[in-house]
Structure 1
């Protein structure tokens, strides 16, 4: 799965449009980077850029922006309301999807080293990247702002992590590091700003001071009044949405508001949000209200509705959820075909797509039929007594059917890798050794893919047996076809495992893989028999 990192560099320029646009262009034109937002502030004289991309790409994007800043920003003339210490003041790297915090720490260090070497600037590490606790937080490093850098940077305890321990007047110093994703989140109230602030004080981690901490961890916030909306807000930064997610903050605000006889009228997310946070909200309300919601788009809709995210401005998931903003069309040329086109492609004068892709498609349809019957049973009055069972049976069948769809193309891709290895040169001993190694890798890939088809389809069997037992008997033939299709798909995938195994030279891999494949094939035959026997007994 694609790795996604967010980078949010803050540059000390919020008034000069030419410079702001030049930095935006440098970041946005970096291969692999998607610029999500540019937020300049005249009074702060600061612009916050938000962009995402794969790990290496975001480092290049940050460096591209820093190069422009080195040329165009002069801190000797900079004034603004926001605290700052450098032209590129702070540059955090934030894990969004399939990336660890440790990986982002490594990215920040790579950026810091390269920026220091190339631009000749001092760079400090903060948050998860920091080596010393006394300079872990941004306010600690930035104390005294740009004006204090000259005297602090020469002290041993304030030697930069990268770059020269000397004052660069036109630049100042830069802070970089890795931190968790920060969600800027506001809850709307029909109240006074004072009431909103009272609620914020009760909830934010700092509370009213050291002796009166608030209830929610990793929350910074206050109350204010927004003239444009004609309402008050509890405005917060959720520093770690896995500790305090938006839906928990929202529910706690509702509790506090009820004590003050104040109405809550929805909320807003400022900027973008990870999909994980929205789905967590959906799961919370699904459990709280004993709902049954399966599809991701419906879960997103539920979260948007329950949190009132459309209250003050439209919440368009494709523009607000990071994963949707940068989503690419799946590489599924076969699965994306019509049924007619797929069959015609199989029937063409070509070895791919072949039995492996067809097996994945058949298995997907088998699991899909089981899912269909379970869904047709759910919510029907005459089957209310098995409603709870159907809620548990639908997800594994639904998930297996959807998981098998991309495997239609994966099998063909795996075979193509092997074919490509066949075309490698074999003139010298080194050529032949390299070719043999790639052929073995290609064969293992061509085996592991149908083996994954078998394992994914196998996950549907227990639920399919239960659907045969409790499902709508009017759909008996659909379950029978589903069972046969699921077994056939697994059997077909097994045959692809076996035929590709002939060229494998790794005896241990061969033995272990065949044992696993045999077990899955035999279980499929047994489970299919159980489904058919159960259905015969219900007729």
Structure 2
């Protein structure tokens, strides 16, 4: 899966267009990142930049932007309505896809360390990356702001996480860390401002005060009125959409609106939204309405429709969903996205990759897809109407396996290339030998874990495929047979790749564990294939 990190640096300049554009240009010039938004504010004298990319790429882009700011922003002359303590005031990193919060903590630390070393400025860590309990939030660290920073730096408790205590007048100090993705989400009401705010108070976590807390955790909200639209809105910040998803906020607002006899006219997302947030909503409405939807695109459209996200203006998924903006889609790489002809020619070329591992993943994905097809050719047809409930249960795991195996086609080749890069590292000195040895070990384990993950994914297909063979459309029996053989072949291919890469791992408990897992999963694949073929043959007699 493609790793995506969002970075939202706030620079203390919101009026000088040349400086604002110079910082934006530095980000745009960085490979592997996409600048999504530049939001300057004259009264705050502050500009918020939003860009996304891989873990290493966002760090490089943030440093490039900071270099421009260091040359062009002078905090001794800065005035603005927003609290601030530095030219690059705060630089949070937010996990979006395929990246854990723990990984983002390491990313923030890398950025902070490099920023302090390169520019000679003090840097503090906050949020999940904070090193001290009394300075986890921005208000705690910003207390006294830029004007009080010189005296603050000499206090032992306020020694920076990176850099010295020396006050840098032109810069001040920077805070970096990790936070969850914040969704700015508005719900439209045919009501007054006061009615909208009344519902907002019911919903938001702080409610009306300590004795009257609201119903939704990780939710900030107020009510306001839009004169140009002639409607009110509940304006929400969902600070952790895993705790309070958009659809939960929307449905709770609808309950309160119904009690007040207020019309709800859809909702809107301000800025960008992670794909997972829309899929959460889709799964809720699929379950609530007992729908049967498999494809991601259709799920996204369902969420847009049920939440009314296009009520005020069209919601274009390609422009509003982060993963689609950066072309990440479902994490399928170049090999998986290419044509069959390109893939076959690539395998046949005089290169070691793509090789057997990528072919095994391709074959396995086709096997799961054939099982899905048999289910699709059974579901919704009048003569097999009695099987609809079974097909609703059996098709999704096979479909999920088929789609989720696609990234594995590229993963095997990427793991092999990473191993070869590690092997080629210099080893002229003892230090270089140590670096190379560690890199080779990490890369070797990855070449084993990738095919082992393929075996585990294949293992999830046998139970639904065997049942599909017992009840599915028998006009498609050859597809079931081919599908089972493809999955078994994929398992054999993954097993062989585990074995060949184990040769690069020293003897020990870890090596034995990998081998045992691979052998067990291969035997389960052989039994699964036999079971599918046996069921088909019984029904064909």
Which bracket does the TM-score occupy, shorter chain normalised?
A: 0.7 to 0.9
Q: Distance in 1 between matches of 2:75 and 2:416?
A: 58
Match of 1:90 in 2: 90
Q: Is the 8 A contact 2:332 2:406 kept in 1?
A: no
**Structure 1 residues 195, 364: CA separation in 2 closer, same or farther (over 3 Å shift)?**
same
- Find the counterpart in structure 2 of residue 34 from structure 1: 34
Pairing 1:464-475 to 2, within 5 Å after superposition? 464-475=465-476
SS state of the match for residue 51, structure 2? strand
1:481 paired with 2:482, answer yes
SS of 1:377's equivalent in the other structure is: coil
CA distance in 1, matches of 2:175, 2:138: 8
2:377 partner SS: helix
Q: Distance in 2 between matches of 1:143 and 1:426?
A: 49
In the alignment, structure 2 segments of 5+ residues that lack a partner are none
Question: What is the CA-CA distance between 1:314 and the residue it aligns to?
Answer: 2.3
CA deviation vs aligned residue, 1:305-324 (integer Å, no higher than 9, x gap) = 22111122222222222222
Deviation, 1:282, is 1.7
1:399 aligns with 2:372: no
Shift of 1:224: 1.0
1:463 aligned partner: 464
* TM superposition shift of 1:85: 3.1
Structure 1's 483 and 150: CA in aligned 2 closer, same or farther, altered over 3 A? closer
Partner of 1:369: 370
Q: How does 1:174-323 map to 2 (within 5 A)?
A: 174-323=174-323
* CA distances 1:468-520 after superposition (whole Å, capped 9, x unpaired): 11212332333233334434444565566678888988597887666555544
State the 1:30 CA deviation: 3.0
Task: Tell me the TM-score normalised to structure 2 length.
Answer: 0.84
CA–CA distance in structure 2, aligned partners of residues 476 and 342 of structure 1: 28
Larger radius of gyration: 1
Q: Which residue of 1 aligns with 2:5?
A: 5
Say which is worse superposed, 385-394 or 444-453, in terms of deviation: 444-453
Report the secondary structure of 1:27's partner residue: helix
- The 2-side partners of 1:443 and 1:234 are apart by 52
Closer/same/farther in 2, CA of residues 94 and 230 from structure 1, 3 Å limit = same
Cα deviation per residue 1:47-84 (whole Å; 9 max; x = unaligned)?
A: 11112233333333223222322322233333333233
Q: Deviations over 1:367-424 (max 9, x none)?
A: 2221111122222233333222212211222223234445455566677789999999
Alignment of 1:77-116 (within 5 A): 77-116=77-116
Structure 2: how far apart are the matches of 1:502 and 1:90? 47
User: Relative to structure 2, which stretch is displaced further, 387-396 or 79-88?
Assistant: 79-88
Closer, same or farther: CA 331–469 of 1 in aligned 2, 3 Å: closer
Residues 393 and 125 of structure 1, relative CA distance in 2, 3 Å threshold: same
Question: What SS does the corresponding residue of 1:265 show, helix, strand or coil?
Answer: strand
Question: 1:214-265: CA deviations, max 9, x gaps?
Answer: 1111212211112343321111211222221222111111111112211111
How many matched pairs?
Answer: 539
Alignment RMSD = 4.0
Q: Distance in 2 between matches of 1:411 and 1:133?
A: 42
1:531 has 2:532 as partner:
yes
SS at match of 2:125: strand
Q: Distance in 2 between matches of 1:144 and 1:377?
A: 68
1:30 is paired with a residue whose SS is coil
2:487 match: secondary structure? helix
Distance 1:424 1:218 in 2: 47
| Cα separation, 1, equivalents of 2:216 and 2:424 | 61
- Indicate how the Cα distance of structure 1 residues 97 and 150 shifts in structure 2: closer, same or farther if over 3 A, else same: same
More deviation in 237-246 or 166-175? 166-175
Q: 1:135 to 1:445 in 2, by over 3 A?
A: closer
With over 3 angstroms needed to count, the CA separation of the structure-2 counterparts of 1:422 and 1:198, relative to structure 1, is closer
Structure 1 position 354, deviation (Å)? 6.4
Show structure 1 runs of 5+ residues with no match: none
Q: 1:28 to 1:463 in 2, by over 3 A?
A: same
Q: Which moved more, 1:89-98 or 1:444-453?
A: 444-453
